[in-house]
Chain A
Amino acid sequence: MMDRIASLGRVGLDVVATVGRAGRFLAGVLTGVPRPSVGFPLLVRQLYSVGVLSLAIIVVSGLFIGMVLGLQGYTILSDYGSEAAIGQMIALTLVRELGPVVTALLFAGRAGSALTAEIGLMKATEQLSSMEMMGVDPLRRVIAPRLWAGFIAMPILAAIFSVVGIWGGMLVGVEWLGVFEGSFWGNMQSSVSFTQDVLNGVIKTVVFGFVCSWIAVFQGYDCVPTSAGISSATTKTVVYSSLAVLGLDFVLTAVMFGDF
């Protein structure tokens, strides 16, 4: 009986300790801003590997999700004779919800897991500790550029996702199913508000980008430096990021759109 209680207490202490380490780690990364001449090329290289290389999966997923939304929306809306509202439906769904959330989930799977594995392997092969021996702070040199790159790349990817999705929806709705193009765009423009919908979507992506990159680099930095440790850290990154994104999405949606 006492053993059970003790193990529960141990789990609780572990969780609190991990959260504390993650917070101190974040503070260390954010305060350690490298000199622009050194930091900028590092940031660009990470933006390339985190952002540009994720572009293909984002564009393809966005296109297909937009097309599916177009097909499903048309099937439902044509029952009520209001298939002209399809543009509005696709745009609102993508800009408010699917754009930020699906991009964040794909980002966690594509870029987050890679970040964790890379940093974890650096730790396992003692590259991080040899950097410290040379007097180079690995938080500044390795972690900070990756965290910032994820933070910057996520909103860009989500915006591209939404635009490609709307284009895919237009492809299906207008070109294939024959919805009038004028009412497709007109309904969309009269119902989507820039401040209410687009900016709130961007705020969501900024929050998701921050959380996903933070989890990814922290899991890599904090992993047990063995091959099993790296594999479990990579799994944790994807699982925790996905759960955090979905949970935060509910909270953010309730705050942003909950008043009607």
Chain B
Amino acid sequence: MAQRTTEIVTGLFIIAGLAALMFLALQVSGLSPKSDADTYTLYANFNDVGGITPRGKVAMAGVTVGSVKSVTLDRDTFQARVELTIDANVDNIPADSSAVIRTSGLLGEQYIDISIGGDMDSLNAGDTFYSTQSAMNLERLITNFASGK
């Protein structure tokens, strides 16, 4: 009988551990059971990516629709080429939309915002954004203002 009680309590202990791990996965890290098949890839070239890093957020009207996969330098144009992973259910981004780097709050992290265009055609997987707007560089802004440009 004592052995059985021990076994039951130990079983509960292991279940509590697994539940804690599930909580860390789902509630704390926001992991959702979703495979790569549910996304597609778009590209955007920026003159200056500022603080955009892989895993950064891609938003549309403030709603997160994807993430940054990689940031590389294009050797020919000397621009930054950003690979974006977009949710597959957002498959109707107008072809003349532009990718803009914005900052959440004054000192918050930077993210890529997709400004909606008016084209009837939409971007397909592997397409590159036609127009982009680079990160606002506060230092450059102040320098320009101080020198009166």
Same assembly: yes
A residues contacting B by CB (< 8 A) are 41, 44-45, 47-48, 51-52, 55, 80, 82, 91, 95, 153, 155-157, 159-160, 162-163, 166, 185, 188-190, 192-194, 197-198, 202
Check A44–B10 contact: CB distance below 8 A.
yes
Contact B13 A194 (CB under 8 A): no
Beta-carbon contact of B21 and A41 below 8 Å: no
CA distance A51 to B28 in the complex (A): 24
A161 to chain B minimum Cβ distance, whole angstroms, is 8
Q: List 14 A-B contacts (CB under 8 A).
A: A41-B7, A44-B6, A47-B13, A48-B6, A48-B9, A153-B13, A155-B17, A159-B21, A160-B16, A162-B28, A189-B30, A192-B28, A194-B29, A198-B28
- Contact assessment for B25 and A156 in the assembled complex, using a CB-CB cutoff below 8 Å: no
* Structural contact, B10 and A194, CB atoms closer than 8 A: no
Which of B3, B7, B18, B20: most chain A Cβ within 10 A?
A: B20
Given contacts A156-B14, A160-B16, A160-B17, contact A194 B31 (CB under 8 A): yes
Inter-chain contact B28/A47, CB cutoff 8 Å: no
- Is B116 an interface residue when CB atoms closer than 8 A count as contact? no
Instruction: Give the residues in chain A near B6, CB-CB below 8 Å.
Output: 44-45, 48
Chain A residues near B57: list those with CB within 8 A. Answer: 190
Question: Number of B residues whose C-beta is below 8 Å from A?
Answer: 26
Q: Are A45 and B3 in contact, with the CB atoms below 8 A?
A: yes
Q: Within the complex, which residue of B16, B29, B31, B105 is in contact with A156, where a contact is CB–CB below 8 Å?
A: B16
Compute how far the CA of A55 lies from the CA of B28 in the bound complex, rounded to whole angstroms.
22
> Which B residues contact A (CB, under 8 angstroms)?
3, 6-7, 9-10, 13-14, 16-18, 20-21, 23-25, 27-31, 55, 57, 64, 105, 107-108
Kindly list chain A residues whose C-beta atoms are within 8 Å of the C-beta of B10.
Answer: 44, 47-48, 51-52
- Pick from A48, A82, A155: contact of B107, CB below 8 A: A82
Q: Is the beta-carbon distance between A162 and B3 smaller than 8 angstroms?
A: no
Q: Which residue of A lies closest to B24 (CB)?
A: A198
- In the complex, the answer to whether B13 meets A189 with C-beta atoms within 8 Å is no
Please indicate the chain B residues that have their CB under 8 angstroms from the CB of A194 in the complex.
25, 29, 31
Expressed in whole angstroms, the Cα–Cα distance for A95 and B6 within the complex equals: 29
CA distance A190 to B108 in the complex (A): 13
* Distance to closest chain B CB from A112 (angstroms): 18
Min Cβ gap A104→B in Å is: 15
Tell me the complex Cα distance, A198–B29, Å.
Answer: 8
Please state if A159 and B29 are interface contacts (CB–CB under 8 Å): no
Q: Which residues of A contact B55 (CB under 8 A)?
A: 193
- Indicate if the CB atoms of B27 and A185 lie closer than 8 Å: yes
Nearest Cβ on chain B to A58's Cβ, whole angstroms: 11
Q: Is the CB of B107 within 8 A of A189?
A: no
Give the most central of A45, A82, A91, A156: most B CB within 10 Å: A156
Instruction: Determine which residue in A82, A95, A193, A194 has the highest number of CB atoms from chain B within 10 A of its CB, and name it.
Output: A194
Q: List, in ascending order, chain A residues with CB within 8 A of B64's CB.
A: 190
